[in-house]
Amino acid sequence: MQIEQNSVVAIHYTLTNDAGEVLDSSEGREPLTYLHGAGNIIPGLEKELEGHAAGEKVHATVAPEEGYGEKQSQLVQEVPRDAFQGVESVEPGMQFQAQTEGGPLMVTVTQVEGDTVVVDGNHPLAGQTLNFDVEIAEVRPASEEEVEHGHVHGEGDGHGEGEQAQQH
């Protein structure tokens, strides 16, 4: 079976940046399983996998606009240190959920200078070209329930089965 809309796809992958550094990998873990066409993985990778079958290996280069987007300068802001009440030590690399007009946003502390903290709401991979080496482990039709819910079911989730699809 070829990968198409409403296929359940299991992949092993290694993600590298343009410098060849490994950013993420399924090595040593279960394959990533997702519902094709439901927005569970980034659009550029989903497009590259369309039409392939189990057993195939695919190399996909995904531009920022089809990955995590371009970096948006308005998502980098300076905030006062006292905005982090109850946090004893604020250090670069820490992540917090900020409440914004558009809803909750995960931000990463990039700099701390005195009473000023710089936070970045961009996804850590925003603005980067992503290189995926993928081996397709399995392709099967999705159940009606999986299509209706928009994700894959497996052992142990709230539906009596485990949700395994996630966006990387």
- Tens of pLDDT, residue by residue over 73-98, are 999 999 999 999 899 999 999 999 98
Q: Are 91 and 112 in contact (CB under 8 A)?
A: yes
CB 110 within 8 A of CB 118: yes
Contact 42, 168 (CB under 8 A): yes
Task: Answer whether residue 155 shows pLDDT above 60.
Answer: no
Q: What is the rounded CA–CA span in Å between residue 37 and residue 46?
A: 7
Q: Are 14 and 84 found together in one domain?
A: no
- In whole angstroms, what is the distance from residue 34 CA to residue 20 CA? 25
* Residues of the domain holding 134: 7-68+127-149
Mean pLDDT to the nearest integer, 18-45: 95
Q: Are residues 84 and 13 in the same domain?
A: no
Structure confidence at residue 162 as a pLDDT band (50, 70, 90): very low
Residue 157 lies in a domain: no
User: Considering the domain boundaries, does residue 168 fall inside one?
Assistant: no
The pTM for the full model equals 0.78
My answer on whether 63 and 135 are in the same domain is yes
Lowest mean pLDDT among 145-149, 150-154, 155-159: 155-159
Residue 19: per-residue pLDDT: 94
Q: Per the domain annotation, does 159 fall within a domain?
A: no
Q: What percent of the chain has pLDDT over 70?
A: 92
Please indicate, yes or no, whether residues 64 and 13 belong to a single structural domain of this protein.
yes
Determine the 3-state secondary structure of 40 from DSSP. coil
Task: Tell me the pLDDT tens digit for each residue of 100-147.
Answer: 888 899 999 999 999 999 999 999 999 999 999 999 999 999 999 999
